[in-house]
Amino acid sequence: MPRNRRPQDREEKREEILAAAQRLFIDNGYESASMGQIAKNAGVTVNTIYWYFRDKDDLLIAVLDRLLAEALAQYATIADRPLNDRLLWAVDQLERLHGLVNTVHTRAPASPAVHAWHTGFHELADTLIADDLRKAGAAEADLPAMTAIGTFVIEGLLTHRRGDAGKRAVIDILVHKLTTVPTRT
Amino acid sequence: MPRNRRPQDREEKREEILAAAQRLFIDNGYESASMGQIAKNAGVTVNTIYWYFRDKDDLLIAVLDRLLAEALAQYATIADRPLNDRLLWAVDQLERLHGLVNTVHTRAPASPAVHAWHTGFHELADTLIADDLRKAGAAEADLPAMTAIGTFVIEGLLTHRRGDAGKRAVIDILVHKLTTVPTRT
DNA sequence: TCACTTCTTGAACGGTCTTCAAGAAACCTA
DNA sequence: TAGGTTTCTTGAAGACCGTTCAAGAAGTGA
């Protein structure tokens, strides 16, 4: 059933496999989504996947890049909203991917490629958050620790889901505590 | 090679398997530690493990309970220290288990037993932290969100290791921000 | 037509967790 | 003491996993 080898089709086929993998990774989780299952959903055999991707981790990274690019594109449209709203938006957007957050943390020690992606992601996230905190007047020396707190809370909200009110409460308090100058009682 | 079936030996054998599993889970990670490897380290065959434990997740939970009990026993000895020190102590203690934190999050969706353990653990942690924040004069309405922030930051420190100074800085700022009453600049 | 590259596939390998049926060792009862 | 029962252990196999290999088909260029 092979069709041709035009460069255009190469990308199309890759995209089909990627789309199937993304759906299964998100819906069933990385571990539960077997290569056979992904192949069947993409209308190919298992071996074909290995023609386009080195291994399952490589497939994971391609899916992550896809999702990150999509999220960043949408983020640009709300970049001027207050920090509160943007953080809540990020959590809402990434919430359906909460399983992948754990997957990245689990695969990173075993897969250098996943580890590299994870490092790059945190550098990006830290830059964005630090920028905000700096504008809010945070002390420069405290920035690394404060951005870490921001990142950890967002990751926590992703991996430990709670209702809309709960999310809003956590983020509001976080932003309030981080962007106001405290005085001892 | 079977010895006897005295009730005492039952517990001893169980402990031997548990000790081997704990060491391999911590050193090699849950996924990398195969049942065959655990069995060999415990001096039994794979099937014997299944006589004492329902499945691999059940083995994981038994290991987690073991570690938690041990940690709580040690925690009692420093319960009167300032919040800063206790949080840093907790991170240091649990740091070597950082792989298991991810493992619990990964297995929880697939295994009801692991999910239940995870829920129970967070209830315990929330109780401890909320108690501290209440004593520090935090508003009662803000407690749920603030305890969540505390938990998320500790989990973040466990899954994203950094040096001693980094840990100390994050915890100091966290405690400072959470336990002082802020005023707008 | 013929070699060459691109792409696809069936089959197999070594590994995982788990289960099944069989049997050995200790205990209990008759 | 003999026989049955329970507790524990095991070898073998099942079902699945990710991955690799060798073979072959489809399209391209000479």
- Are residues B99 and B139 located together in one domain of the fold? yes
Closest residue (CA to C1') to nucleotide C26 in the complex:
B4
Structural domains of chain B, count = 2
Statement to judge: residues B27 and B75 lie in one domain? no
| Cβ-Cβ contacts under 8 Å, B177 against chain A | 177-178, 182
If asked whether residues B12 and B76 sit together in one domain, one would say no
Residue A80 and residue A14 share a domain: no
Residue A2 has a pLDDT of 37
The percent of residues above 70 in pLDDT, for chain B, comes to 93
The answer to whether residues B169 and B79 belong to one domain is: yes
Q: What is the pLDDT of residues B123-182, one digit of tens each?
A: 999 999 999 999 998 999 999 999 999 999 999 999 999 999 999 999 999 999 998 765
- Answer yes or no: is A58 within a domain: no
Interface residue of A106, A161, A176 to substitute, partner B, most B CBs within 10 Å: A106
DSSP per position, chain B = ------HHHHHHHHHHHHHHHHHHHHHH-TTTS-HHHHHHHHTS-HHHHHHH-SSHHHHHHHHHHHHHHHHHHHHGGGTTS-HHHHHHHHHHHHHTTHHHHHHHHHHTTT-HHHHHHHHHHHHHHHHHHHHHHHHTT--GGGHHHHHHHHHHHHHHHHHS---HHHHHHHHHHHHHHHSSEEE--
**Which amino acid is present at A45?**
T
Q: Which pLDDT score, from 0 to 100, does residue B180 have?
A: 78
B136 CA to D18 C1' distance (Å): 52
**Is A94 inside a domain boundary?**
yes
Distance from CA(A37) to C1'(D16), angstroms, rounded: 12
Antiparallel, parallel or unpaired: β A181-183 and B181-183: antiparallel
Residue B8: predicted pLDDT: 59
Q: Hey, are the CB atoms on A102 and B99 less than 8 Å from each other?
A: no
State whether A26 and A110 are in the same domain: no
Tell me which DSSP letter residue A77 carries.
Answer: G
Q: What is the CATH number of the domain that holds B13?
A: 1.10.10.60
User: Do A25 and A76 sit in the same domain of this protein?
Assistant: no
Residues A118 and A148 grouped into a single domain:
yes
Q: Are residues A82 and A173 in the same domain?
A: yes
The tens digit of pLDDT for each residue in B85-105 reads: 999 999 999 999 999 999 999
pLDDT, tens digit, for every residue of A24-72? Answer: 999 999 999 999 999 999 999 999 999 999 999 999 999 999 999 999 9
In a domain, A138, yes or no: yes
Q: How far is the CA of A40 from the C1' of D1 (A)?
A: 66
Question: Is the pLDDT confidence value at A9 over 60?
Answer: yes
Find chain B residues with C-beta within 8 A of A145's C-beta: 166, 169-170, 172-174
- Say whether pLDDT at B2 is over 70: no
Residues A90 and A121 in one domain: yes
Structural domain contains residue B139? yes
Domain assignment present for residue B58? The answer is no
pLDDT confidence band for A3 (50 / 70 / 90): very low
Q: Tell me which of B160, B162, B172 to substitute to probe the interface with A (most A C-beta atoms closer than 10 Å).
A: B160
Is B37 inside a domain boundary?
yes
Query: What tens digit of pLDDT does each residue of A75-128 get?
Result: 999 999 999 999 999 999 999 999 999 999 999 999 999 999 999 999 999 999
Q: How far is CA B84 from the centre of its chain?
A: 19
Range of the domain at A69: 64-180
Determine contact: A152 vs chain B, CB below 8 A. yes
- Confidence check: pLDDT of A74 > 90: yes
Residue A171 lies in a domain: yes
Q: Tell whether A108 is covered by a domain.
A: yes
- The reported pLDDT for the residue numbered B1 is 36
Question: Looking at A53, A72, A90, which one is the last position of a domain?
Answer: A53
Shared-domain flag, residues B21 and B107: no
| Chain A interface includes B28 (CB < 8 A) | no
pTM as predicted: 0.91
The residue in chain A having the minimum alpha-carbon distance to the alpha carbon of residue B167 is: A145
Are residues A26 and A78 both part of a single domain?
no
